[in-house]
Structure 1
Amino acid sequence: MNFAFTDDQLAFAGAVREVLRTHCPPAALRTERTPAWEQLASLGLFTALVPETAGGLGLRLADLVPALEETGRACLPGPVAETAVAGPYLVAEPSLSAGLKVAFGPAELVADADLADLIVSCGRISGTARLQPVPGTDPCRRMFEVELAGSAPVDTSVALPLVTVATAAQLLGVGHHLVDGAVAYARARTQFGVPVGSFQAVKHQLADAAVALEFAAPLVYRAALTAGPPASASAVRDVSAAKAAAGEAAMLAARVALQVHGAVGYTEELDLRFWMARARSLSSLYGTSARHRATVRATLTSAPRYP
């Protein structure tokens, strides 16, 4: 397959990047829960997959992948993939056009449930829920145990693989930011009178992380095409391969970035901690890499249904 993003897809991602650069700087991660959301909503990010007849842009998930990478690169807080990607297949289209936020969790544990207007948990949806905060690793993605009230059943079979791919795309952006930051720090930090980036051991680690991200990207792009709707015969395998590879690549980038920064990487004053936490939280969201690797192995001899 000769896959390349179109000018329109890259232009939309560029517009998202500029909005995030202006309205979601690293400093905003310390003080705001949903920076840049109003501007991104005006741009159409959260209704991109909604049909044009319902006030959306009528795009496919593959059209949105570069923009989703940018939200990961900026560590954008809030239920981004859940609202933009899962939302159109979980709630009525006019609701999304009205700017509602959607939180989605296959189990009782749901991220950003306190920010959401609608919560989907365990195959049911409601706008009212009892929330119990749960300690988490990501300060910008607060976790809650959710007990829905007055809920109704909702079919999540289409939304779940799509939001899994969207999360994988965000992981690519997180990983690229970590590698870029580590490279810049390695060039600036000196030891024995030379930049630490000149040491072979450091170069090899940075190269390994960069290569892992480059190898994961085509898997994510393929999954965005095959996950549907309608899903292709290879969708189960493709979705799991994408999530496993992107999660492992982002976690490798986080480990390398921490090693390059040394002890300062543990400090709260350094913004690096936000991206390391995001890599950790997203890599386990919608299935760990181990689980998805097991799914890929299973598809070699059978055809399991997702998930």
Structure 2
Amino acid sequence: MILSSAVDAEDTALLVDTIRAAVGRTDPADGRSERVYRDGPLDHDLWSVLGREIGVGALAVPEVHGGLGTSYATVAAVLETLGAELTRVPVLAGVIAATALAGCAEHPFARDLLEQIASGTRVVTTVVPGDEFDSPGEGTFQVIDGDDGVTLAGRAEFVLDAAVADTLLVHAVDRYGALGLYAIDRTHLTVEQMETTDATRGLARVHAANAPAVLLTDRPEPGRVRDQALVALACDSLGVARTCLDAAVTYAKERVQFGRAIGEFQAVKHMLAEVAVAVELADSAVAHAAWAVDAGSADDLAEAAAIAALACSDAAGLAAATNVQVYGGIGFTWEHTAHLYYRRALSSSVLWGTADEHAQRLYRLATGRTDREGDTPSPEPVREPAVALFATEP
């Protein structure tokens, strides 16, 4: 592993350059569309370099467990870089898993998993908990107590990198309604790779039927795991947004139409300016979220995660769509990477909640409302009927 000491803010730029160079050698932009659909959502060669040689998995793992224990600002920069390159490696899944495991590192198996994540020798993913865990006794997976030990039953969809993971982490409830964090070996699960819009990201259906499991902790923090998952995904989306903006600006300066660079036309300028504003807002949201992960309270993190998820999702969607539009005809071709970024933005925008859901959650956090505690939901706003763009007089 190249990384052998904690990376601070001054070294982040060098680390990012190292990752970009590795991606450029192993998975260059030229021909990427063909490789994505030919090789699937895991680039084994690139993962060997990033996971084992460079050791990016160690960044989010505490130093006492074989990791580097860097600040989340460095983790965010790496995730942004990997998102910008549309890398097909399980780093995002590893960061989320390290978050879940850090809260139960006293368990021997959890320590082993953290060390293997850091060394890149084991892929660990997490069924990211949703709102169902806001109410005790609810959950996707159920614990079954038997003579042969603890087993789990349940199913989940859109599980990140489940088809290539060695171990899955799931939150499950027992017959008494107690919540716990469990580890399951993938060989005990039925995993079905899903065909989704985004071919650069592996998502799968997972089904457990009396699957042997290991209880890692009976005091999990599903809310923190979910919030840090949203922050990590936001970093990925920021990378997509920034890359699409840079590509569109570069092309607008070079592409000549009617004797002028298309970037000189006011319509193109306005489109790109709108994207630039969205990217700057997303960048600020991610910086705030990184602070919340390292030093904020649980309430700070929940609010920052919702803001980052909302801002970065919007920025990535707008930037990817604008990039296709600026490139024009070539942007719609299968060989160009513009459609891959658009697909990644679409996938991220709904992976662990939509923009509307994040906005509603942010409203509840800001106002202190909790509908699950008995508050009456506010009525739907009255919407005026839309006026047709090309309405004619009767």
- Equivalent residue for 2:46? 36
- Equivalent residue for 1:132? 192
- Equivalent residue for 2:83? 72
2-structure distance, mates of 1:201, 1:73: 26
Q: Per-residue displacement from partner, 1:4-47 (whole Å, max 9, x unpaired)?
A: x8312333223222222222312355324225212212222111
1-structure distance, mates of 2:338, 2:46: 20
- Equivalent residue for 1:102? 124
- Equivalent residue for 2:386? none
1-structure distance, mates of 2:73, 2:203: 28
Q: Is the 8 A contact 2:123 2:164 kept in 1?
A: yes
1-structure distance, mates of 2:354, 2:302: 15
- Equivalent residue for 2:21? 18
1-structure distance, mates of 2:164, 2:197: 18
Larger radius of gyration: 2
1-structure distance, mates of 2:66, 2:254: 48
1-structure distance, mates of 2:215, 2:237: 30
- Equivalent residue for 2:149? none
State the one-letter code of the partner of 1:150: P
1-structure distance, mates of 2:79, 2:193: 27
- Equivalent residue for 1:147? 207
| Identity score, percent | 29
Partner of residue 275 from structure 1, selected from 331, 334, 341: 341
Any unmatched runs of 5+ in structure 2?
A: 1-7, 102-109, 129-155, 173-181, 372-394
State the one-letter code of the partner of 1:222: H
1-structure distance, mates of 2:369, 2:298: 12
Which is helix-richer, 1 or 2? Answer: 1
- The change in CA–CA distance for 1:28 and 1:19 in structure 2 (over 3 A counts) is same
1-structure distance, mates of 2:369, 2:201: 34
Residues 1:184 and 2:247 are matched in the alignment:
no
Secondary structure of the structure 2 residue equivalent to 1:59: coil
Q: Is the 8 A contact 1:45 1:84 kept in 2?
A: no
1-structure distance, mates of 2:87, 2:250: 21
TM-score by length of 2: 0.70
- Equivalent residue for 1:7? 10
- The change in CA–CA distance for 1:52 and 1:133 in structure 2 (over 3 A counts) is closer
Residues 1:60 and 2:82 are matched in the alignment:
no
How far does residue 191 in structure 1 lie from its aligned partner after superposition? 2.2
2-structure distance, mates of 1:108, 1:287: 13
Secondary structure of the structure 1 residue equivalent to 2:319: helix
- Equivalent residue for 2:165? 116
How far does residue 260 in structure 1 lie from its aligned partner after superposition? 0.9
Q: Is the 8 A contact 1:61 1:85 kept in 2?
A: no
Q: How many positions carry a matched residue from both structures?
A: 301
The 10-residue stretch of structure 1 (17-26 or 45-54) with the greater mean CA deviation from structure 2: 17-26
